[in-house]
Amino acid sequence: MEFKKCERCGCFFTSNDNVCYNCLTKDKFEMSKFKNFVEENNISNITSLNDLSIQTGISSKNLNRFLGYDDFNELANQINLK
């Protein structure tokens, strides 16, 4: 266990996760929302992170962070942003 700074809210916490306990719930919710969105929509129409943010209702900062995770590796390649 390391002492870490939450990537979402900036608070300090002790865990092996990237975000604190409070944010973990929010992250999980948004990640599944994001995955559902990708499954249900034609993502080739998405041209920017901002566009994706507007359509999913998830902040571009969080989307950018999700796309950097291994879980979203394949998805990040599909979306081909930036």
What are the residues binding Zn ion (CB under 5 A)? 6, 8-9, 20, 23
59 phi-psi bin (left φ>0, alpha ψ -120 to 50, beta other): beta
C-beta of 7: minimal distance to Zn ion in Å?
8
Instruction: Pick the closer one to Zn ion by CB: 29 or 47.
Output: 29
Residues linked to residue 14 through DSSP beta bridges, in sequence order:
3
Instruction: Pick the closer one to Zn ion by CB: 6 or 52.
Output: 6
C-beta of 59: minimal distance to Zn ion in Å?
14
C-alpha to C-alpha distance for 7 and 9, rounded to whole angstroms: 6
Cα 26 vs. chain centroid, distance in angstroms? 10
C-beta of 74: minimal distance to Zn ion in Å?
26
Element (H, E) at 4: strand 2-5
Instruction: Pick the closer one to Zn ion by CB: 24 or 81.
Output: 24
